[in-house]
Amino acid sequence: METSRNANLHALTDEDVMEQLQAGVVQAFDIIVQRYKDRLHNFLYRYTHNHEDCEDLVQETFLRVYRSRHSYERIAKLSTWMYTIALNLAKTMYKKKKRMTTVSMHEDPDDSESREMQFEDTVVLQDDQLHQKMSVAQLEEALMKLNEDFREVIVLRDIQQLTYEEIAEITDTAMGTVKSRINRARQQLQDLIGDYVKSETI
């Protein structure tokens, strides 16, 4: 019976799984964690570039999702709601630390916990030609040179592949501003790296 229930949960959309969690089906939370832990880790690592901060933020995001499960309304995609929580937590963390992400892009040889991030080839950037021309290390180094506003939108758009509408909602920013920041971020990356993806037609 339990196996059948879990199988049914796996077949549901994210929003349906969340409704099951709201209804008291605790197994639904495990499904949400399985679906989003890697995506949240990738996003938060590119935003913070700090392994310890990233792990803490992922755990805190899921804790907030569980605690706030009854505040979620289906008018928003679950992914949008979760990214909003994650981004707000990241911003709060760095405000408290009174620093933004200016850490080294390289692994720390003295840190036994330091590890190389694994990127999926299909989500590094939308432009395949760009992906062939530049290494992940180059991309990460360039991203960390962008200001916070530019970095967050370019990560959400070109790496997480969210829509402009989702990014506007997550960042609580006007659509025109989102599009402008993305194109300006791409231009800055082009200046930093060389050949970068041409500004997307918007």
* DSSP characters over 36-53: HHHHHHHHHHHHH--HHH
Q: What is the mean pLDDT of the chain?
A: 78
Please give the full DSSP string across 127-151, using - where no structure is assigned.
-HHHHHHS-HHHHHHHHTTS-HHHH
For the cut 80, the answer to whether the pLDDT of residue 129 exceeds it is no
State mean pLDDT over 28-51. Answer: 91
Domain range summary for the chain, segments of one domain joined by +: 1-101, 120-202
3-state secondary structure of 107: coil
pLDDT of residue 97: 67
Distance CA 154, CA 120 (A): 17
- pLDDT level of residue 56 (50, 70, 90 thresholds): very high
pLDDT tens-digit series, residues 137-147: 677 788 888 88
Tokens 């989702």: give the residue: 166
Domain 1-101, CATH among 3.30.530.20, 1.10.760.10, 1.10.1330.10, 1.10.1740.10: 1.10.1740.10
78 vs 92: CA distance, rounded Å: 21
Fold of 120-202: Arc Repressor Mutant, subunit A (1.10.10)
